[in-house]
């Protein structure tokens, strides 16, 4: 068994509470360096530890396991703090992503998160931010669809979402956030999404990552856990996803999940893309995806984004659109900040290095798995 297949087998056996194949355990010994590299790039060493527990090889991953447990305790504290702050302010919100996924995993620490995500109505954006700041958070970033607030006590972030897709995600998700919120129901003081909308958002979120550099094995583990432990109506889920052109993509992902869960080989191109994406994708894949979308206009689009994106970042443009050139200039100068300059130089270098063959290969993968890019500029 090669390293990639052994790695997949080990982490899937951990979350599915099954014994790993003998061949995977042997491969962990024979291909130790390659499996260690994969577990590090996908940040899944704690799951490899659980799969190998009781063997000599497991000790290599004990530190990953201990960090995962500690980090989950921290994230749960930040989550409770953020939720309490919003509740005190009388703001209705819906938990997202890891906050819900951890409930499905056999043990919460199995599903690592780097932040806490909640959705509020757009009209509650400012009020929600003030509530978090009052509770000890500090706003660090503003995006097209969420604001980030850092907890001063431990540095973990709460992402306050007021939409569920960026203007340049490549997905025509207009109206999805409203449907998601309106269909949620009040339970235990907070709102909870329906099972179907919860899964639909996970599919949409994965599609976003595919257009923003890729997504790692963790995302497929999420769907394995969802399919195994969550009671949802498949027909209703497909109906929701069909409205956003994501049903075929979901079918491709779920098919690969089943193959991997059963120890079988799946779509080779898709498997290679996910295994090569690391935890949240690579800058090289990000540039390639932008080249697929914008062709030779990639650099221009990065320097001078369309009005819809700029208005989300700079809300004053909605009332004064004639100021667009001014804010393009503001954006251009901000790009020379040390924190951003390195990223931009790397992007432009990768842009110059990309060739037609690699761009065509990624476009073909998107077509093959049913991932359709919308022109939502």
Q: Which of 57, 8, 53 is nearest to 30 (CA)?
A: 57
Dump pLDDT digits (tens) for 109-153: 999 998 999 999 999 999 999 999 999 999 998 887 899 999 988
| Confidence (pLDDT) at 125 | 94
- Per cent of the chain over pLDDT 70 is 93
| Domain boundary assignment for the chain | 3-53, 65-205+230-240, 206-229+241-377
Cβ atoms within 10 Å of 70's Cβ, excluding its own: 11
Rounded to 10 deg, the angle between the 195-211 and 247-261 helix axes is 90
| Confidence (pLDDT) at 377 | 46
Three-state SS at 216: coil
Has this prediction a pTM greater than 0.85?
yes
Residue 206 to residue 204: CA distance in whole angstroms: 5
Edge-to-edge strands, sheet with 115-119: 94-95, 115-119, 157-161, 146-151, 137-142
Dump pLDDT digits (tens) for 183-211: 999 876 679 999 999 999 999 999 999 98
* Tokens, residue 171: 């997905």
Which CATH number applies to 65-205+230-240? 3.30.460
The answer to whether 227 and 345 have CB atoms below 8 angstroms apart is: no
The answer to whether 298 and 351 have CB atoms below 8 angstroms apart is: yes
| Confidence (pLDDT) at 248 | 96
The answer to whether 273 and 214 have CB atoms below 8 angstroms apart is: yes
Q: How confident is the model at residue 322 (pLDDT cuts 50, 70, 90)?
A: confident
Pairing of strands 190-192, 137-142: unpaired
Average pLDDT for 60-68: 96
* Tokens, residue 3: 């390293």
Cβ-based burial of 281 (10 A; exposed 0-12, middle 13-18, buried ≥19): buried
Residue 184 to residue 175: CA distance in whole angstroms: 15
Dump pLDDT digits (tens) for 46-59: 999 999 999 999 99
Among 54-68, 74-88, 194-208, 309-323, the least confident range: 309-323
| Confidence (pLDDT) at 197 | 97
Average pLDDT for 303-323: 79
The answer to whether 351 and 299 have CB atoms below 8 angstroms apart is: yes
Average pLDDT for 200-223: 94
Cβ atoms within 10 Å of 95's Cβ, excluding its own: 22
- Which position has the higher pLDDT, 125 or 319? 125
The answer to whether 376 and 171 have CB atoms below 8 angstroms apart is: yes
pLDDT of 281 strictly over 80: yes
């Amino acid at each position: 068994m090669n390293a990639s297949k052994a790695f997949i087998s080990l982490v899937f056996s951990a979350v599915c509470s099954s014994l790993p194949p003998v061949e995977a355990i042997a491969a962990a010994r024979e291909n130790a360096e390659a499996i260690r590299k994969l577990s590090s790039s996908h940040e899944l060493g704690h799951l490899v530890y659980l799969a190998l527990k009781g063997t000599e090889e497991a000790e290599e991953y004990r530190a990953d396991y201990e960090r995962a447990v500690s980090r989950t305790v921290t994230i749960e504290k930040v989550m409770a703090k953020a939720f309490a702050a919003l509740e005190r302010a009388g703001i209705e919100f819906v938990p997202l992503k890891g906050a819900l996924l951890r409930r499905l995993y056999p043990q919460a620490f199995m599903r690592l998160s780097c932040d806490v995500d909640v959705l509020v109505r757009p009209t509650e954006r400012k009020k929600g931010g003030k509530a978090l700041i009052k509770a000890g958070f500090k706003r660090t970033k503003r995006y097209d669809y969420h604001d980030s607030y850092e907890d001063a006590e431990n540095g973990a972030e709460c992402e306050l979402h007021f939409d569920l897709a960026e203007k340049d995600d490549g997905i025509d998700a207009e109206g999805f956030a409203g449907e998601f919120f309106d269909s949620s129901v009040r339970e235990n003081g907070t709102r909870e999404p329906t099972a179907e909308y919860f899964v639909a958002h996970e599919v949409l979120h994965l599609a976003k990552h595919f257009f923003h550099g890729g997504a790692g094995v963790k995302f497929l583990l999420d769907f394995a856990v969802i399919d195994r432990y969550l009671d949802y109506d498949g027909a209703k889920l497909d109906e929701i996803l069909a409205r956003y052109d994501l049903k075929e993509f979901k079918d491709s992902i779920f098919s690969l999940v089943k193959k991997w869960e059963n120890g079988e080989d799946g779509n080779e191109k898709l498997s290679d893309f996910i295994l090569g994406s690391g935890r949240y994708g690579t800058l090289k894949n990000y540039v390639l995806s932008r080249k697929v979308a914008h062709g030779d206009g990639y650099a221009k689009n990065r320097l001078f984004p369309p009005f819809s994106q700029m208005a989300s970042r700079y809300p004053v443009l909605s009332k004064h659109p004639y100021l667009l050139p001014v804010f393009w200039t503001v954006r251009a100068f901000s790009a020379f900040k040390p924190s951003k300059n390195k990223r931009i130089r790397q992007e432009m270098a990768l842009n110059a290095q990309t060739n037609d063959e690699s761009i065509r290969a990624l476009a073909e993968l998107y077509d093959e798995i049913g991932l359709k890019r919308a022109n939502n500029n």
